[in-house]
């Protein structure tokens, strides 16, 4: 055992004597599990060890990825050693990913030995590793270290961050919240600069409790509001929204009077999410006097969540707001609320100066099944100077109202030579969605002609939506198109086909395409076809920095969601920082609740 510990080297050479003692303890802990003897000195594993010690950076990363298929304490020790000592940040990240795959209690001897080390960086790595382990016991070990080193701000912060990572994946045992109480003592002072790390400790502890979303946390969080600054109040409001109880409503109502706009926005989001009916008067009053467009939009979203007859009156008053985004959200909300009394006002918004508002008004009228709006919708369709997205929305609205004029317009627009490729493909999607047999023959004729690829592609997309197998060869060929946007449309056209060659092509793109949205669409199609392992790609996309990509992944998950996926989405809702993305999750959950 001494030879194993003393001979373990890394890229920088042999380890110092103190680190050798640490590794000696780690190896002793591993030996206690009784597993090292089962491994012996197998050449393959010794090669892995050698690659981690002396290999180039990419080789060490690949080795760590390979080690994830083994379940053995010796391998866990190697992963932890790379996390602690490897000089390369990408390699340490690879070690993190490798440890995140471990769901074996045999890893605990190595990690607990790391936490007992006299060397700080070893303890920090142990905390980091514990945050990745998916076992409820892990949280208890992290809390023990925090209590033992409560005066070391750096170690406490690393431990709290590890807890945040931990609760992303695993539900801690009951009573865990009490262990975080010492880190919620932050008190800002006007006469003395508050330690930044102390403030950071409180923020991270609140984030941990927000993700857990247990009602028991409210006894710790509600008293913190009055001594919190704006940043901490935002986190608290999000925590109250995740927990979903009425207890913090009085605190959130006080938050509506804050000077900081973001605090008000997050309080509105929380009040809407927990459906605080007692807050309706305050929200309606705020919308009548507020001038900040962002606050107004947040208030509109809150009213969508809290139904009330008076809401429509408040929203109608916002239709004349000078900000187009506010008018857009008010129009959208009236449609979502099925506010029939708003139909005349919505017809009036078809002449709004903003094309976004006009398009939204068209969709809201379709939601309301407003037959009285048909003449105005036909007028929009006939206006060649109207924005293309508005005309497209009007044609779809007419189809929803039972007027086949929309399909005729789709076909006429496809004959134009001045349309952009994107608009052509949108019209093709819309025409295919009508599923009218009268257009099948001319579309097949366009499909079979060979002089104009754009005409062929447009016809293939429309026929694909109509589940016509003649379109499959063209759509498969289009999956190799240089434009990611075109590839996305081809994937939509193939949605109704479960042929082996189609699923194989989608699987290739799901794993290899450079465009994240293409990968998401392919993974969603495969998951809906029964290949549920591709949901992993969708969950991984939720780590992307782009809100649009996370929203696309969530929509894809929502299309094929079962009870387990819905449960995971509710859990993910607690950790999502973006209000628009959270809105996407709410719409998915509401849609499934209404089925």
Mean pLDDT of 326-350: 93
Pairing of strands 13-14, 9-10: antiparallel
CATH 1.20.120 fits 418-497, yes or no: no
The answer for residues whose C-beta is within 8 angstroms of residue 529's C-beta and 6 or more apart is 498, 503
Tell me the pLDDT tens digit for each residue of 288-301.
Answer: 999 999 999 999 98
How far apart are alpha carbons 10 and 560 in whole angstroms? 46
Go through 224-257 and write b for each residue having 16 or more CB atoms within 10 A of its CB, e for each that does not. Answer: bbeebeeebbbbbbbbbbbbeeeebbebbbebbe
Q: Residue 108: what pLDDT?
A: 78
Residue 14 has pLDDT above 50, yes or no: no
Render 469-498 in DSSP notation, one character per residue: GGGHHHHHHHTT-S-HHHHHHHHHHTTT--
Residue 424 has pLDDT above 70, yes or no: yes
CATH topology match: 1-168 vs 418-497: yes
Q: Residue 355: what pLDDT?
A: 93
Nearest residue to 429 (alpha-carbon basis) of 494, 499, 512: 494
Average pLDDT, the chain: 82
Q: Residue 349: what pLDDT?
A: 94
The answer for residues whose C-beta is within 8 angstroms of residue 6's C-beta and 6 or more apart is 20, 24
Q: Residue 594: what pLDDT?
A: 63
Cα 340 vs. chain centroid, distance in angstroms? Answer: 34
Residue 260 has pLDDT above 90, yes or no: yes
How far apart are alpha carbons 219 and 247 in whole angstroms? 10
Q: How do the domains of the chain map onto residue ranges?
A: 1-168, 418-497, 499-595
CB 284 within 8 A of CB 314: yes
Residue 105 has pLDDT above 80, yes or no: no
| Percent of the chain predicted with pLDDT > 70 | 89
Residue 592 has pLDDT above 80, yes or no: no
Tell me the pLDDT tens digit for each residue of 28-58.
Answer: 443 333 333 333 334 456 678 888 888 888 8
- State whether residue 10 is helix, strand or coil: strand
Residue 67 has pLDDT above 60, yes or no: yes
What does the block give as tokens for 311? 């809401």
Q: Residue 188: what pLDDT?
A: 56
Nearest residue to 285 (alpha-carbon basis) of 307, 242, 256: 256
Tell me the pLDDT tens digit for each residue of 171-196.
Answer: 788 888 888 888 887 665 543 344 56
Q: Residue 574: what pLDDT?
A: 67
Mean pLDDT of 124-137: 80
Cα three-residue angle 80-32-49, rounded to 5 degrees: 35
CATH 3.90.550 fits 1-168, yes or no: no
Residue 247 has pLDDT above 80, yes or no: yes
Number of H helices, E strands in the chain: 36, 2
Residue 26: which pLDDT band, with cuts at 50, 70 and 90?
very low
Q: Residue 359: what pLDDT?
A: 93
Burial class (CB in 10 A: 0-12, 13-18, 19+), 88: middle
């Amino acid at each position: 055992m001494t030879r194993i510990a003393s001979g373990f080297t890394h890229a920088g050479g042999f380890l110092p004597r103190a680190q050798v003692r640490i590794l000696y303890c780690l190896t002793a802990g591993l030996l206690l599990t009784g597993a090292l003897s089962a491994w012996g000195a197998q050449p393959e594993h010794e090669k892995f060890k050698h690659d981690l010690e002396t290999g180039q950076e990419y080789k060490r990363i690949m080795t760590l990825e390979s080690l994830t298929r083994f379940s053995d304490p010796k391998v866990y020790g190697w992963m932890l050693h790379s996390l602690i000592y490897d000089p390369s940040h990408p390699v340490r990240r690879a070690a993190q990913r490798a440890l995140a795959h471990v769901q074996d209690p045999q890893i605990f001897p190595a990690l607990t030995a790391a936490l007992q080390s006299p060397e700080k960086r070893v303890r920090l790595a142990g905390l980091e590793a514990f945050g990745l382990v998916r076992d409820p016991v892990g949280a208890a070990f992290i809390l023990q270290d925090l209590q033992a080193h409560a005066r070391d701000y750096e170690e406490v912060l690393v431990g709290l961050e590890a807890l945040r990572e931990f609760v992303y994946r695993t539900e801690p045992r009951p009573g865990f919240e009490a262990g975080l109480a010492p880190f919620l003592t932050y008190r800002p002072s006007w006469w003395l600069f508050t330690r930044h790390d102390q403030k950071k400790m409180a923020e991270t502890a609140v984030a941990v409790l927000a993700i857990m979303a247990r009602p028991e946390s409210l006894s710790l969080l509600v008293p913190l509001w009055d001594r919190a600054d704006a940043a901490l109040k935002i986190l608290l409001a999000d925590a109250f929204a995740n927990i979903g109880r009425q207890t913090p409503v009085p605190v959130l109502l006080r938050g509506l009077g804050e000077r900081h706009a973001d605090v008000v926005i997050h309080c509105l989001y929380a009040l809407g999410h927990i459906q605080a009916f007692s807050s309706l008067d305050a929200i309606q009053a705020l919308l009548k006097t507020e001038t900040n467009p962002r606050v107004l939009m947040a208030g509109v979203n809150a009213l969508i969540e809290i139904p009330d007859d008076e809401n429509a009156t408040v929203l109608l008053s916002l239709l004349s707001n000078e900000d187009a985004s506010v008018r857009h959200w008010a129009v959208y909300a009236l449609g979502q609320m099925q506010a029939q009394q708003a139909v005349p006002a919505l017809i009036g918004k078809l002449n709004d100066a903003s094309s976004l508002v006009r398009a939204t008004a068209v969709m809201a009228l379709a939601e309301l099944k407003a037959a009285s709006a048909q003449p105005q919708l036909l007028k929009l369709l006939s206006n060649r100077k109207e924005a293309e997205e508005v005309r497209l929305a009007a044609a779809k609205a007419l189809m929803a109202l039972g007027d086949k004029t929309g399909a005729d317009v789709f076909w006429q627009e496809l004959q134009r030579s001045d349309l952009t490729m994107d608009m052509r493909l949108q019209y093709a999607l819309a025409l295919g969605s009508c599923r009218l047999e009268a257009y099948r023959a001319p579309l097949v004729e366009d499909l079979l002609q060979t002089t104009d690829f754009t005409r062929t592609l447009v016809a293939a997309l429309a026929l694909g939506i109509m589940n016509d197998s003649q379109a499959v060869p063209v759509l498969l060929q289009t999956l190799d198109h240089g434009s990611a946007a075109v590839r996305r449309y081809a994937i939509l056209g193939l949605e109704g086909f479960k042929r082996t060659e189609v699923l194989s092509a989608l699987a290739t793109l799901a794993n290899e395409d450079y465009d994240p949205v293409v990968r998401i669409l392919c993974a969603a199609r495969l998951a809906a076809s029964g290949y549920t392992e591709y949901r992993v790609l969708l969950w991984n996309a939720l780590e992307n920095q782009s809100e649009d990509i996370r929203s696309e992944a969530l929509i894809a998950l929502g299309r094929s969601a079962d009870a387990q996926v819905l449960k995971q989405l509710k859990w993910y809702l607690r950790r999502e920082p973006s209000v628009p993305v959270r809105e996407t999750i709410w719409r998915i959950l509401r849609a499934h609740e209404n089925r």
